Structure 1
């Protein structure tokens, strides 16, 4: 059962090209936003699409793949874990971030 704890699986489309950062130690990190859509009918029977945006971060070899093959609109499947973190701005405001730390990436579609 431990394998099921803090596990996220998403299929969606990239909102923009990945933002790639080369780290001081030579490692690589890629960040991108992923849109997932849920379609349902409301009380009046009208089709409604609900889009949720997810922030994804990939490291190492997965970041290399993201840099080489991902671009805006690309459909992908992402697996990873949910990470919550915070940081303080230069103005002293505390900001909170929730993101998916990607451990598996599957390219879908064309």
Structure 2
């Protein structure tokens, strides 16, 4: 399982279209994702001020798009990258992001 942070609106649009995409697919050639243990830090690093976020849990066995684990030099870790549009049936769960008692974005699985 890998995880992708997005807006609720983008996920709702994907449900209508039948596939999920992200601007990073156009500009970088892939959609960013995280392993579970990386997701909270990713949420804080890049999405700390955003609201109306969800986290997509992506079942690798159902994903029809190539996934590559590649080094993110800025944090020194390998992250999963999705090299194409994501088929929505690969998303096994959608988790809401909410503010904790310190005002930080977080989620529960």
Q: Same fold (TM over 0.5)?
A: no
Query: Greater share of helix residues, 1 or 2?
Result: 2
Give 1 or 2 for the bigger CA radius of gyration.
1
Higher relative contact order (CA 8 A, sep 6+): 2
User: Going by fraction, where is strand more abundant, 1 or 2?
Assistant: 1
